[in-house]
Amino acid sequence: MIDLTTPIIPYNGTGIFKLNESYDKIKNYLKKQNIPYDEEISKPNDIDPQWNIIGIYKDGGEYEAIGLFFAKDRLFKITLCEDFEGALPNGIHIGMTIEEAKKIDKKLTYNDWEEDYESTEGYWLNYHRKTHQITIISIFIPALERDDFF
């Protein structure tokens, strides 16, 4: 069982999942602990390397609680979705409105291309367009903020 209440630490990870960890180490841990997961392979374009994406669900739920994104054998991004109950160090969490989050992190800026809010503190927020509630928090390695990461 994965703890879905752990703190979300930008540039670091959450719970047992640490950014920059190897794909094999995390996959072996999930298998050893009998934690069910889905896996897909994605090739975003002809230039970037292949991504391996692991999805972990809450108690066999319908929606993904944690998404783990690997490139070049390293965990470079973690997405925490609607069933995840942990919070960022500043208190921002899934279910909070984007307006509330903007009061906490005054440096949040909207990215028209990605259609999300980005923080200089190392996280991105996706939200529901009608309710304005945060639905996904993404954390990542610092190198992902550079255009030449891949």
User: How confident is the model over 59-102, as pLDDT tens digits?
Assistant: 766 667 999 999 989 999 999 998 899 999 999 999 999 999 99
Question: What is the number of other CB atoms lying within 10 angstroms of the CB of residue 8?
Answer: 22
Backbone φ, ψ for residue 92 (5° rounding)? -65, 135
In whole angstroms, what is the distance from residue 139 CA to residue 9 CA? 8
Are 54 and 41 in contact by the 8 Å Cβ rule? The answer is no
Name which CATH class applies to 8-143: mainly beta
pLDDT at 12: 97
Query: What is the pLDDT averaged over residues 117-143?
Result: 95
Torsion-angle region of 59 (φ positive above 0: left; ψ -120 to 50: alpha; else: beta): left
54: helix, strand or coil = strand
Backbone angles phi and psi of 89, in degrees to 5 = -55, -30
The per-residue pLDDT for range 5-49, each reduced to its tens digit, is 999 999 999 999 999 999 999 999 999 999 889 999 887 777 677
- Copy the structure tokens of residue 43: 């090739």
Torsion of CA 72, 77, 81, 85, to 10 degrees: 120
Q: What is the pTM of this model?
A: 0.91
